[in-house]
């Protein structure tokens, strides 16, 4: 099957680039003496998880139990959920624990106590990591409260506190390489101080887990980190490009789309809207406008900088022609590099794996929609 025979819009992944991304991250993280535990929320595919594990990943991350169900069913037996589970989910977690090692995070002493009671009652020890807020200000205990939390949680029955974990999501707002490097250095310093404080209290925290694609290239050489959990790197996207995490020729996922209307010289309408591209805007050192980067045709890296994906309806992209002679007519095809590939995965049942214009395989997005 050739790409030109496919109906559009169609999400496509360049197999060669994806494999190269997997290899490069594995080499970088392994070369830094750390374990790689990729976040599977980007691809939601056991096939790709298997490729990551075969290259040396020590396990995977899933965001939710429902996502983990799919990967455990497919044979992945070492999963971390860097997500704050609630004790009301104990029965679902236990069902997974029969078949796999599954760890999760806690960031609240009372919630940890709830898990502890569940563990004691059911005669198991849940493996947990303390989530630390290193600046993203989403989940996580504040660094100043971490020592106390470690003491409390380490002393609870039914729990085994394995270490500390953070996600430097604020790296997505970085304005330069220097800022990114500093975020990675600060993250390591915060976690290192918690590990030292715990050691002084006689508590061994063996796992120091960080994870975000923008900081990955700096974290690999930070001492004291044992594990990295990037996810986005498998495909990258326009945001990764804007943050210097990837070059255009490392971006593996595109949306192939057709021109369906050319109502004016300065306007082109494509058949991929927010239900394909998502409404996420691009981030980066100097964020670029629009809902994706338009590339000419079905192959190559020929960007069309005079086109800005200005507006998305559910099924249309309204593209502004900023100048230059753009000859696009209804029926012509272009590719769009999405702003955020992880969300795009979750919007389609399957993805075409391509080599040039050839569709070499169709990848089911098996954990698509597993948001609970
Ligand atoms: C807790 C956690 N760990 C790891 C990751 C992976 O980060 P990235 O998407 O930058 O690769 C994410 C992403 O959202 C996350 O929330």
SS3 of 159-198: the string is EEEEEEECCCHHHHHCCCHHHHHHHHHHHHHHHHHHHHHH
What is the three-class DSSP state of 79?
strand
> Which residue's alpha carbon is at the smallest distance from atom 13 of ligand 1?
212
Ligand 1 center to residue 41 CA distance, Å? 8
What separation in Å is there between the alpha carbon of 132 and the centre of ligand 1? 14
Q: In a mutational test of the pocket of ligand 1, which residue from 229, 238, 283, 341 has the highest number of ligand atoms less than 8 Å from its CB?
A: 229
Residue nearest to atom 4 of ligand 1 (CA): 211
Q: How far is CA 189 from CA 134, 207, 245, in A?
A: 10, 15, 22
Q: What local confidence, expressed as pLDDT, does residue 300 receive? A: 86
Kindly provide the residue ranges of all beta strands, DSSP E only, lying in the chain, ordered along the sequence. 10-14, 35-36, 60-61, 78-84, 101-106, 126-131, 159-165, 207-210, 227-228, 253-264, 267-270, 293-296, 307-312, 317-321, 333-337, 350-355, 358-364
Q: Which stretches does DSSP call E strand in 4-62?
A: 10-14, 35-36, 60-61
Task: List the beta bridge partners of residue 105.
Answer: 84, 129
| Ligand 1 center from residue 231 Cα (angstroms) | 6
Give me the phi and psi of 168, to 5 degrees please: -85, 65
Peptide bond into 121 cis (omega under 30): no
Q: Whose CA is nearest to atom 7 of ligand 1?
A: 212
The predicted pLDDT at position 293 comes to 97
Which atom of ligand 1 lies closest to the CA of 165?
1
Using most ligand atoms within 8 A of CB, pick from 80, 136, 211, 237 the residue to mutate for ligand 1.
211
Ligand 1: atom nearest CA of 214 is 10
Model pLDDT, residue 315 = 98
- Three-class SS state of 207: strand
Q: Please tell me the predicted confidence (pLDDT) of residue 297.
A: 87
Domains and CATH numbers, the chain: 3-10+246-364 (2.40.37.20), 32-236 (3.20.20.10)
Residue 228 Cα to ligand 1 middle (Å): 10
Which tokens hold the place of 327?
Answer: 């000859």
Q: Which atom of ligand 1 is nearest to the CA of 131?
A: 1
pLDDT digit string (tens) for the chain, length 372 residues: 999 999 999 999 999 999 999 999 999 999 999 999 999 999 999 999 999 999 999 999 999 999 999 999 999 999 999 999 999 999 999 999 999 999 999 999 999 999 999 999 999 999 999 999 999 999 999 999 999 999 999 999 999 999 999 999 999 999 999 999 999 999 999 999 999 999 999 999 999 999 999 999 999 999 999 999 999 999 999 999 999 999 999 999 999 999 999 999 999 999 999 999 999 999 999 989 999 999 998 888 899 989 999 999 999 999 999 987 899 999 999 999 999 999 999 999 999 999 999 999 999 999 999 999
Tell me the CA–centroid distance for residue 142 and ligand 1, in Å: 19
Q: What distance in angstroms lies between residue 11's CA and the mean position of ligand 1's atoms?
A: 22
CA 117–ligand 1 middle distance (angstroms): 29
Q: What local confidence, expressed as pLDDT, does residue 323 receive?
A: 80
User: Ligand 1 atom 16: the closest Cα is on which residue?
Assistant: 167
Report the separation in Å between the CA atom of 130 and the middle of ligand 1, taken as the mean of its atom positions: 16
Choose the residue to mutate in 134, 212, 220, 235 for probing ligand 1, maximizing ligand atoms within 8 Å of C-beta: 212
pTM: 0.97
According to DSSP, the residues that pair with 79 across neighbouring strands are 60, 102
Q: Which residues line ligand 1 (CB under 6 A)?
A: 39, 82, 167, 211-213, 229-232
Distance 80 CA to ligand 1 centre (A): 12
The residues pairing with 14 across neighbouring beta strands, listed in sequence order, are: 354
229 CA distance to ligand 1 middle (Å): 7
């Amino acid at each position: 099957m050739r790409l030109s025979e496919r109906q559009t819009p169609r999400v496509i992944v360049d197999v060669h680039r994806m494999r190269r991304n997997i290899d490069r991250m594995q080499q970088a993280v392994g070369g830094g003496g750390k374990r790689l535990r990729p976040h599977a929320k980007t691809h939601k595919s056991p096939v790709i998880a298997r490729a990551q594990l075969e290259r040396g990943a020590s396990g995977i991350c899933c965001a939710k139990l429902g996502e983990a169900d799919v990967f455990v069913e497919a044979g992945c037996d070492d999963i971390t959920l860097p997500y704050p589970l609630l004790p009301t989910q104990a029965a679902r977690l236990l069902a997974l624990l029969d078949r796999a090692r599954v760890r999760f995070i806690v960031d609240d002493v009372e919630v940890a106590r709830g898990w502890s009671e569940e563990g004691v009652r059911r005669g198991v020890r849940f493996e947990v990591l303390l989530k630390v807020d290193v600046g993203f200000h989403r989940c996580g205990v504040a660094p100043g409260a971490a020592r106390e939390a470690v003491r409390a949680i380490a002393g609870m029955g039914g729990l085994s506190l394995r270490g500390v974990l953070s996600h430097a999501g604020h790296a997505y707002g970085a304005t330069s390489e220097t800022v990114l490097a500093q975020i990675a250095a600060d993250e390591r310093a915060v976690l290192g101080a918690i590990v030292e404080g715990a050691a002084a209290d006689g508590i061994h925290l063996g796992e120091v887990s960080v994870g975000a694609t923008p900081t990955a290239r700096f974290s690999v050489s930070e001492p004291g980190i044992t594990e990295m959990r990037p996810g986005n790197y498998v495909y990258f996207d326009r945001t990764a490009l804007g943050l210097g995490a990837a070059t255009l020729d490392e971006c593996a996922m595109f949306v192939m789309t057709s021109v369906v209307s050319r109502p004016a010289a300065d306007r082109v309408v494509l058949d991929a809207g927010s239900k394909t591209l998502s409404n996420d805007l691009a981030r980066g050192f100097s964020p670029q406008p629009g809902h994706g980067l338009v590339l000419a045709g079905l192959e190559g890296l020929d960007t069309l900088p005079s086109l800005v994906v200005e507006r998305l309806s559910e099924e249309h992209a309204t593209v502004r022609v900023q100048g230059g002679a753009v000859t696009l007519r209804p029926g012509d095809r272009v590719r769009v590099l999405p702003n955020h590939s992880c969300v795009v995965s979750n919007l389609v049942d399957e993805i075409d794996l391509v080599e040039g214009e050839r569709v070499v395989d169709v990848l089911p997005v098996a954990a698509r929609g597993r948001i609970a």
